[in-house]
Structure 1
């Protein structure tokens, strides 16, 4: 089974749609269909069946899926081991991150990373958390930076995780929209703008009220980006609970004001996630070490020292 066929199979299995799978693996729809047919002919079994909700895995497809994931992981490890043994180490990395983390935390940090590793080229992919994990599993990115929900969900043992810092969330409002001190029950009567369900910020917004036994406020707007939420809040649409790092400039300019959050302090763990491998590429080792030592708020880095004084090439 060629790795190319397995990668296409997994794309179809996850998207349950030939069109979306084709976009994910950068192939024409006809090529995706041909590859699935080739794989089915090789294995002698149908891997998908059609339903009203899309393509469903057959029992044979369900049996193949975890094995295909393992085979692709081993294929990547084999290539890395051979390159390392031959002295041909790759000096390119692809980093995935949420939009907020990429712009407000990684962009300035990567400038510091430039001063350490002159031969490492870093490429950035910005996506939501679910997409980042799929890209990581498929080997399309080397490391992901995202916020973990920390809600007790079982972690994928194939992935290693390290929490870098807990980023505080801020309750923000338009200037002049201050309110009298109140508890969560009183705050719940206010109008709110929030991200869509499934986002870490929305999860923390919902649980912040639910943990106190308070009904979650009714939202006036759901928005897909923190930037849109900040602009809506600044225009007076409602209050917002967002990462402080994403609105620090708006707070400094006076476009937004921060209000006291009456419940338990809310903070999202910024987590670095990468695949466990027998052979870790040197470039990735350098980036993981740099993130561990230097990717944190300034107040947590007093006395920290850069790893070296050379320069690296970063493509954003």
Structure 2
């Protein structure tokens, strides 16, 4: 079974649709259909059946799916082991990131990394947290940069993934210039209109949790928007207040397009985390990127909750000074 056939099979299994699978693996629809037929002929069993909701895995397909995932993982590790043994660090990497992190943190950082590693080609995909996690699990991206909830939700316990916090971004309460006065307490805030992210987003979770900890129901958002940039623009027009990362609105605050209000209560901050898949052998190019991100993206001191941790060296985030081992795990 050729790895390419297995990758196409998994794309169809995930999307349950030939068209979407073809887009995911960058093939024509006819090529995807041909590859599935070739795999079925090789195995002597039908892998999919059609239903009203799309393509469904047959019992044979269900049996193949976890094995195909393992074979592709081993194929990747074999290639990484050969590159490492040959001392080659070249390769192509795909980074996944939230819109805010991509524009405010990674866009200024990547040119320097690429200048220092001209043999590594870097691509970037921007998506929401849930999509990034699926892309990472499916092997479509090599590392994800996102904010994680401090309660450990959203797969933090997934043993297939390794993660390291590299910062903590403060969230700020913003309003249109000249709009209202600073709220005295959460009760004042509860009476105001907000433009918020959708439920499940780390910012929305922190917003709702602040009121829950005070035994108060959070205000119902005037609008729910998936884009932080769109929220900032709506807030600037007076649609409501917003609680969003400072890094996303620092320029707008400096220009006076937005006004920062004091958040009544404990300062809110979202842990900035990089997440990658555990492997016995990590591709050398990815190991280089993880080390560079730790060295240059992490601040000298990062805040996690009420505690401050030193992030000045790899010992703080990669215990026992084993960056290579940790990145490979």
- Tell me the TM-score range normalised by the shorter chain: 0.7 to 0.9
Is the Cα–Cα contact under 8 Å of residues 194 and 240 in structure 2 kept in the other structure? yes
Between the aligned partners of 2:78 and 2:29, the Cα distance in structure 1 is: 30
Q: Shift of the alpha carbon at 1:22?
A: 1.6
Q: Check the 8 A contact 1:173/1:233 in 2, yes or no.
A: yes
Are 1:290 and 2:292 counterparts?
yes
Match of 2:220 in 1: 218
Across the aligned residues of Structure 1 and Structure 2, the Cα RMSD in angstroms comes to 2.7
Query: What residue is the counterpart of 1:186 in the other structure?
Result: 188
Within the candidate set 194, 197, 206, 1:195 is matched to 197
Query: Structure 1 residues 61 and 278 mapped into 2: Cα distance closer, same or farther (>3 Å)?
Result: same
Counterpart pick for 2:276 among 271, 274, 277: 274
The corresponding residue for 1:12 is 12
The residue that corresponds to 1:309 in the other structure is none
Task: Quote the residue 2:96 is aligned against.
Answer: 96
Q: Would the alpha carbon gap of residues 43 and 91 (structure 1) be closer, same or farther in structure 2, given more than 3 Å must change?
A: closer
Counterpart residue number, 1:205:
207
Give the corresponding residue for 1:126. 126
Q: Distance in 2 between matches of 1:139 and 1:206?
A: 33
Deviations 1:205-258 (A, max 9, x none): 333333433223222222221111101000000111111110011111111111
Contact (CA 8 Å) 2:171, 2:246: kept in 1 or not? yes
Question: Once the 2 structures are TM-superposed, how far is the Cα of residue 287 of structure 1 from its aligned partner?
Answer: 1.7
Q: Which has the higher contact order (CA 8 A, sep 6+)?
A: 1
Q: Secondary structure at the match of 2:222?
A: strand
Aligned residue for 1:33?
33
Q: State the secondary structure of the residue aligned to 2:211.
A: helix
Larger deviation, residues 147-156 vs 183-192: 147-156
Displacement of 1:290 in angstroms is 1.8
Distance apart, 1:278 and its partner CA: 2.4
The 1:176/1:132 distance shift into structure 2, 3 A limit, reads same
8 Å contact from structure 2 (residues 89, 119) kept in 1: no
Matched residue count? 305
Cα–Cα, structure 1 residues 179 and 49, in superposed 2: closer, same or farther, change >3 Å?
farther
- TM-score, L = length of structure 1: 0.85
Shifted more, 99-108 versus 53-62: the winner is: 53-62
Deviation track 1:71-130 (CA, whole Å, cap 9, x = no partner) reads 111111111222333444424432221111011011222344356444433332222223
Q: Residues 236 and 78 of structure 1: is their aligned pair in 2 closer, same or farther, counting only changes over 3 Å? A: same
Name stretches of at least 5 consecutive residues in structure 1 with no aligned partner.
Answer: 306-316
Normalised to the residue count of structure 2, the TM-score between the two structures is 0.82
Give the alignment partner of residue 169 of structure 2, picking from 142, 145, 167: 167
Task: After TM superposition, give the deviation of residue 4 of structure 1 in Å.
Answer: 1.4
Q: Where in structure 2 are there 5+ consecutive unaligned residues?
A: 303-309, 314-329
Match of 2:244 among 239, 242, 245: 242
